[in-house]
Chains A and B, each alone.
Chain A
């Protein structure tokens, strides 16, 4: 009888195995296919010849589908294949976890068979690990070795590669230990699998671990075993784990026709490359077009001065970006003496000191550095470490540089490695700023990473794209989706040229349609300057010009604009030309060294992970902290912060001394409770219950409830709710009360007064997904708080066990409503106080406008504190909206919380010194509607609009840049106005 042949074609690897009559595995192989799927399979098939000339064959795997269909070979879905193999070889296994290149799967065998795959985001897979390794500049094996030596684990967003990168980049820049980061990455993968895949089902008993990454990576195994609390007897790592699916496929081949290996190969070989992907237009129609394009852009160049001969003054600019470091030394008349552009490799400080030494060697004693300025993510650290004179926020640096190239510039777009920044300029001042959100970050460096993976330099790779015949469409949501599109295109036979051009166009589309959100080229302006390292790529530049239909200016130093702007800033800010920069001298540099250590700050309950750099002269620099306290400083006194005030007031609401003769009720302090806590504490305390609150939100609390999260694309506040429920259950309250409310309070300023679907119905989801919740301990009635009669009836029914009289319930409900009113008044009064105080002391105020639950420090990540540390007072939207007029807006104004946003915006338009920052939770679909509207209200009255998207990501670096940019732009506006007044 013919032997069985199983072929597993995954997104990155090909696995082939042969099985004998008794089910014994005779051979198996595992090779990377580098997207050359067909060739790779054919080569592997040749190797099985020693086992016979005739086989029964079956294919499995995500990339095998096409082959199977076109080659007319039996196909089985890979999870099904694994399941078959498990049943045969490990009949006593209870569950199996399989991580592949782009997919993660879990199979529950006992207690109800269930097979699951990850959703559309590719978090927690092999591709994710590969990406992270590249980011750390390590091979996956090195990363694994390092992970075993880790001493601590940082929380890293695991849901998607882009988010994780946003968490890791600042850690790297702060100088955190690579082994700790490596271990944290593996932990993130585990968390993703446990929460995103298992979704509430506990992974226990005998667990089988399958797939390449789990077989090869010891660090990952360790993280899994520790998290799932599995000992050696219960964690099984089969010898053939990497090719387990192919074994399953081979078992499936029993149903297939027996045939000659040669026939099989012939059929596979005959499959023609058939493009099933969308295709765009070539970037250049002809060589002439290209030459004209190059000629035109050559005009935007700076002049150079020979650094080896020059005598005189100079100014230094440093741009310490997220992935690259740039330095530039210029003469007082803005000629370049020398410049550097270099990848950080995770050690930006080392790079800057090394280059600074180079500069000192070059300039000998002919040149005096009069001033130095640093910008970018690493600004604070560089400033502290090297005693640099000035720091300037990135956006201002870029703006200054662009202005130098074209004084009439009205639009600037900068695409760097990580971020995309765009400014509209009016009257030589920034009029509005658009920065990309977490989701669309990392586009620039994605090309670079990809080029590297193809074994090419970025220059070579991008040149290939210029003359591509059929650039492929690769989508634009984020780099994770792009990555998967690229792989699909490769499998369909797209060439490197086509992919290179496709990537360039994807990045440009991302910038134009996602960040700038321009609908027509006219919106961009007449004089466009493009900059940032990514624009040095001619294919990207060309795509931008094609997409917008405009000719733009790209300075030859596009990648160095931040450094150039910083140098210009240093020049402008150096008051006297006889001063000498305080920057570390050549001698000081020789002795310079530093050590880094990460610790947990115990300054407050946030418990930030802070990183302490100790320099050779004994000075210290602390980063990663959210507030001044972490940096070893006293918090500035009396800076008013309504967010902190509100949070503390809320926590103090329940009367902890209450006896609670009727029992204890648990209220989860999240989502709607942030608004209605006074109502329900008032209600239950009047009824004779003791009110117990869930613990304060924290990442740890989130992880406690993570296993009951059903949909990982829901917003972070909702996902945190699961932890709050666990917390209350653990506190053994008699029952948890959490009402469902389609309607919120009617504040008479909108067409309707809905809650959003998530706020309104989350109890339903909790009930369905948390096994510990029962009809007894979880009371979630449907209420309309506007309708007292109905609410009283409903509550009486819901609490019928306690036999409360209607009159008591009515009285208690009225007491609750009264307390809510009192609480709200207190917030409003405090808000007025802050506004008046700020006006008196001439301080800026920010209305931090979001939802009531954004007062939670775990959700806002201390943005209120950050604003305080920038010298700004903070009030919330619910403190000011009642002082505003009613508004008529374009959209259907039908949600209570959102109506407040519009009115808060209206309020801001009428107040000097008050601006608005909108907090948006990632995944909040409704804010896709509100953000545009709030922006349009503000911009119609000439106010700046700033939006901050928050999620579980704990990285305030980007937020800080955004807020500082906004404040800088506001200051500039004020300066312009007062200058205008005095004239």
Chain B
């Protein structure tokens, strides 16, 4: 289409002023970060601290947090916004922080989902009581210029390593914890790993990738375990409720108490997904052609690292490796087009398919009540997935401040009942199969 001529139209400013996070604030401002992935974030904030930022992760929970969220967020906004804003306000009110020297930070994807509007939502929420608190945006879409972190290549590199290590800790922990002989051993190993990883970030050893991955594998492999057949349950869905214990009412813990092995796909997959979407846009629509080579470079580098992790995991341990992103993309193609790129988009469907192909057929698809991309790629894709994978057993669960826990847990229990039934059937089949080969 021809570009319309742009007439000289004046712009009327309806925006409200807000404080900006300036370079000087770096010294004496504390930046608050909402809790999403406890172990990843512990490494991430360590990396940020090394950059000279003062950072704190919020671990506040409970009714007060949700209530603050309800007060300050539009009731149709999504549940993650409510949790995050609730945590901020509750923390700012707690008296623990000097509110004149505190900022809050959130990531922003810049995609077509409303989640990219969290920054304005947070500003609006803060305006009533804490107008002086700046909101920082961590994004790679060029939004909020002059109000984000100073991002250097070295910093990015360290963040990437931190995410890889965090993913590995999460993966190995989840694969070991359900089988540990001595209660708590696995958690102790995790703590110890975090300590030496943090040291590694301080002294530069973090780049000794092979050595560190190997060390993680060995640390978890050394935990004495008792292998027995357990139901594996994958967790997919909207990025926040998928990972955050506050968002999903401690879903991982619940699954552990139900005697299951939770399988939580890696955070790096979401980052690769965002990068691939930029590449796809350039390829399909010619949008962002200038930055595409950079994204391409980043993709190849990260994917190369991911492949190494997978290779090493297979070689040095009996653990199921993290997903291979190219495999995820092929999985997506079977169910949904990679053009579905808003929110978690095709990644949700891809993970559900990839989980089924790697032996985890039971899945909780966690989503905030009324999540838009999930209509399409979550609930909307279930049918197509079931046609592909006969035994795939998916339960979509809505998370909302007013939904009762009993209601959610009962649905998950139904999924688990089917899962156990399938496991038994599988066993029977194996036994009879060995007697009478087809």
Q: Which residues of A contact B (CB under 8 A)?
A: 62-63, 65, 76-77, 79-80, 102-103, 112, 114-115, 117, 119-120, 199-200, 278, 440, 473, 475-478, 481-482, 484-485, 488, 509, 513-514, 517, 519-520, 523, 710-711, 713-714, 718, 740, 742-743, 745, 747-748, 751-752, 754-758, 760-762, 764-765, 767-769, 782, 784-790, 817, 885-892, 894-895, 902, 906, 923-929, 931-933, 936-937, 940
Contacts and interface: CB of A to CB of B under 8 A. Distances in A.
B198 interface: no
A888 B12 contact: yes
A887 B339 CA distance: 30
Contacts of A745: 1
Contacts of A925: 76-78, 114, 370-372
A278 B63 contact: yes
Given A743-B287, A748-B4, 8 more contacts: A65-B409, A103-B410, A117-B414, A120-B369, A478-B402, A743-B285, A760-B340, A906-B12
B379 A509 contact: no
A718 B375 contact: yes
Contact of A62 (B390, B402, B410): B410
B112 A895 contact: yes
B26 to A, nearest CB: 25
17 contacts: A62-B410, A80-B421, A114-B386, A199-B383, A484-B404, A519-B71, A713-B370, A756-B112, A756-B372, A757-B113, A760-B340, A768-B383, A784-B284, A885-B12, A887-B14, A892-B116, A892-B119
A77 B341 contact: no
B335 interface: yes
B398 A888 contact: no
B19 to A, nearest CB: 14
A748 B6 contact: yes
Interface stretch (B29-37, B121-129, B181-189, B267-275): B121-129
B169 interface: no
B417 interface: yes
A933 B15 CA distance: 9
Contacts of A756: 112, 372
B143 interface: yes
Nearest to B422: A113
The 6 closest A-B pairs by CB, nearest first: A475-B402, A754-B112, A477-B402, A928-B76, A80-B417, A519-B128
A764 B386 contact: no
Contact of B379 (A710, A788, A932): A710
A477 B75 contact: yes
A740 B337 contact: yes
Contact of A768 (B12, B336, B411): B336
B380 A929 contact: no
A761 B376 contact: yes
Nearest to A758: B372
B70 interface: yes
A894 B411 contact: no
A481 to B, nearest CB: 4
Interface of B: 1, 4, 6, 9-16, 62-63, 70-72, 74-78, 110-114, 116-117, 119-121, 123-125, 128-129, 143, 281, 284-287, 335-337, 339-343, 345, 369-384, 386, 390, 396, 398, 400-411, 413-414, 416-418, 421
A787 B288 CA distance: 13
Given A120-B400, A718-B375, A790-B284, A710 B380 contact: yes
A233 to B, nearest CB: 29
B118 to A, nearest CB: 9
Contacts of A924: 76
B386 A477 contact: no
B117 A929 contact: yes
Contacts of A519: 71-72, 125, 128-129
Nearest to B335: A768
A887 B11 contact: yes
B414 A80 contact: yes
Contacts of B409: 65
A437 to B, nearest CB: 9
A514 B75 contact: yes
Given A120-B407, A760-B342, A895-B112, A932 B74 contact: yes
A757 B75 CA distance: 20
Contacts of B121: 891, 929
A188 B82 CA distance: 33
Contacts of B62: 278
A782 B16 CA distance: 37
A513 B124 contact: no
Nearest to B78: A925
A941 B400 CA distance: 35
A748 B110 CA distance: 17
A281 B249 CA distance: 24
Which among B70, B376, B379 has the greatest number of chain A C-beta atoms within 10 A?
Answer: B376
A762 B403 CA distance: 27
A482 B403 CA distance: 9
B120 A761 contact: no
A76 B376 contact: no
A755 B4 contact: no
A758 B74 contact: no
A782 B9 contact: no
A77 B71 contact: no
A926 B372 contact: yes
Nearest to B382: A710
Contacts of B339: 740, 742, 761, 782
B133 to A, nearest CB: 14
A888 B383 contact: no
B15 A768 contact: no
A780 B374 CA distance: 19
A549 B71 CA distance: 15
A888 B124 CA distance: 15
B143 A892 contact: yes
Contacts of B15: 888-890
A115 B413 CA distance: 12
A203 to B, nearest CB: 15
Contacts of B404: 475, 481, 484-485, 488
Contact of B9 (A473, A710, A790, A886): A886
B281 to A, nearest CB: 8
